[in-house]
Amino acid sequence: MNLYQTQHPFYCGIDLHANKMYACVVDSTGKKQLHSNFHTQDTQTFVQSITPFNKKPGDLVIGCESTFNWYWLCDLCEGKDIPFVLGHALYLKAIHGAKVKNDKVDSEKLAYLLRGGNFAVAYAYPKPWRATRNLLRRRTHYVRRRGQTLAHITNLHHQYNLPLGKPLQYASNRIGVAERFSDPAVAFSVTSDLEMLSHYDDNIRSLERFLEQSAKVDDANNFFRLQTIPGVGRIIAMTMLYEIHDIKRFPEVGDFLSYCRLVKGEHSSNGKSYGSPGKKIGNAFLKWAFSEAVPLLKRCSPEAKAWAQRMEKKHSTARANSILAAKLGRAVYMMLRRGEVFDIKRMIN
């Protein structure tokens, strides 16, 4: 957990919603200077209200919880040269445990958390790469919907005890599939699924082409550097590239592994362990990327496969894969930090 502890003359906590936002400004002594509700579409009124507290850059800092719509507020603060701090939604528990909870109270608590140096910080992803990263995440959504559509056609074959034939993920194998079903309603359902599959295929291909071109423009060196890992192709490399963004934002390799969900947490007190919570704290997309990269690495690298087999004799297969994923995460951190290509011998030794 990282806490924002930089001192400023004024601190502004904002409880942000889709159409309204409650703002509270306190000074360094803890006295409230502003406590008002604003409409999110009326940014001019909001800027005019906080301008007296930001006579010079750095006088005012603005913090809000990481909701779905923080992008515009971050960009507004950047344009006005106001420091912006994004609060970690899972760590800001001080605003969730009160007996009375509303927008006015939450904004005040956020302001005082900022002033007291107890504001848990999340990473405010910069604007230049943000839209491309979100498009890459959207691609994942389309791929999953495509998989659900394929699974529905497969289930229909099992329901009517019909042979599946060749794999339907290939467009050339979909000809005549709907004619296998005698019921007109079922045949129409399969035809609709096949049409959706065709649209998904075209859309995903165009998305991947656009994303690859963007990656080559944004950071071609690291994009191709990540592909030196055996088994890692364009999609996993782009996921790592855009989800990490800047490797220097992680001071230590342990911070990076924790962010990727590759290491467990620990709760202990007085010598007693209370389990390892926090499994969902971190980046789910990086967790997916490393989980997918491990079996591909074992398939394409004899050294990694031999090392994993030795680990499987001491532990289970799942545990060996987890250890290998952590080692791979450490290797990726060092690769990006030092600007080096992947070296399997350095990773497993």
- The per-residue pLDDT for 324 is 94
The whole-model pTM stands at 0.89
- The per-residue pLDDT for 54 is 92
Q: Tell me the pLDDT of the chain (349 aa) as tens digits.
A: 789 999 999 999 999 999 999 999 999 999 999 999 999 999 999 999 999 999 988 999 999 999 899 999 999 999 999 999 999 988 887 777 777 888 999 999 999 999 999 999 999 999 999 999 999 999 999 999 999 999 999 999 999 999 988 999 999 999 999 999 999 999 999 999 999 999 999 999 999 999 999 999 999 999 999 999 999 999 999 999 999 999 999 999 999 999 999 988 777 787 787 777 777 788 999 999 999 999 999 999 999 999 999 999 988 899 999 999 999 999 999 999 999 999 998 988 7
CA distance 12 to 34: 9
177 contacts 191 by C-beta, under 8 angstroms: no
CA distance 32 to 163: 72
Nearest to 346 by CA among 311, 291, 308, 334: 334
Q: Going by C-beta distance under 8 Å and a sequence separation of 6 or more, which residues neighbour residue 20?
A: 37, 38, 39, 40, 103
CA distance 54 to 274: 46
CA distance 285 to 289: 6
168 contacts 154 by C-beta, under 8 angstroms: yes
Report the run of H or E that residue 65 belongs to, with start and end: strand 60-65
Compute φ and ψ for 279, nearest 5 degrees.
-70, -20
- The per-residue pLDDT for 61 is 96
CA distance 349 to 17: 50
- The per-residue pLDDT for 109 is 93
